[in-house]
Amino acid sequence: MSGSFKMKMALTAMAWMLLVGAGWAQSSCIPPDSMKAKLTGEPDASALNELGVWFGEQQKYDCAARAFASSLQMDSHQKDFAHVAFEFGASLYLSGDASEAISALQEAEKFGYNDIKLHLVLAQALDSTRAAHDAEVEWRAALEIDPEYSDALDSLSNDLIAGGNYKGAVELLDNPRVAPQRTVQQAMNLAEAYARLNRLKDGENVLQDAVNTYPDSMPLAQQLATILTNLGRKDEAEAVLAIARDRQSNGTEAGH
């Protein structure tokens, strides 16, 4: 177990015990009445894990992190240590502590936890700290488990485009897939990659298909208009934008 992970776990557990020691009534982390008996005195790790799950369901992620940290501190040899470490890391991330979440999630990974949720949360945390290269590894690990996972495809292609790896973005998004329909973000990223590689016609084809699939998307229409303009087809570009504006206007009026 890494030193930084152990320190974070101990500090979080200490904060939890201080809150509990002050009395439930004075704590923001109040357990349900049905669990208070299990938590009296020195609760075992399973009771703390159960409490952490309950806090997570209530979206009290800081409280969940404290409960999971206390469980890990109490029993570092528990059977589901890797899963609890993941729950600890995910709770830290959801509570807004991305940098500390990363070490906990990497610890869970180190101890053999290989669930798509781990890779997705860790990738998000890494992206939020601008560690795009490490995030790419995790997005790809998620796609190894589910090659059609849209959020991972969206985010990984975002990272590849931002890093200037346009060929990589094309390889990721233009391969034959079980689900042929791309998201708006994937279509825009693939078209952007083609444009950057001076393959404007390929970019146009991607966007034409996407506009047919998502006719109300103004960003797609604007990107298609840009490519058509660059291809010297300004009249077509203006027509695409006019149709998109008309759709939006009619949609707004219908909404009223």
Domains and CATH numbers, the chain: 1-146 (1.25.40.10), 147-256 (1.25.40.10)
pLDDT score, position 76: 84
Tell me the CA distances in angstroms from 53 to 30, 34, 88, 111, 249, one per residue in order.
13, 14, 10, 20, 46
pLDDT at 252 > cutoff 60: no
Give pLDDT tens digits for 73-107: 888 888 999 999 999 999 999 999 999 999 999 99
* Beta carbons of 156 and 172 less than 8 angstroms apart: yes
pLDDT score, position 251: 64
pLDDT at 20 > cutoff 60: no
pLDDT score, position 9: 53
Give pLDDT tens digits for 39-52: 877 788 999 999 99
Cβ count near 144 (within 10 Å): 12
Find, among 151, 164, 234, the residue nearest to 192 by Cα. Answer: 164
Give pLDDT tens digits for 109-130: 999 998 999 999 999 999 999 9
- For 57-65, the CB contacts below 8 A with 24+ separation are 59/94, 60/28, 60/29, 61/91, 61/92, 61/94, 61/95, 62/29, 62/91, 62/95, 63/28, 63/29, 64/91, 64/95, 65/12, 65/91, 65/92, 65/95, 65/97
* Beta carbons of 203 and 191 less than 8 angstroms apart: yes
Mean pLDDT of the chain: 87
pLDDT score, position 77: 87
Low-confidence winner among 81-85, 178-182, 220-224 (lowest mean pLDDT):
178-182
pLDDT score, position 19: 45
Task: Give start and end residues of each alpha helix (H) in 197-233.
Answer: 200-213, 218-230
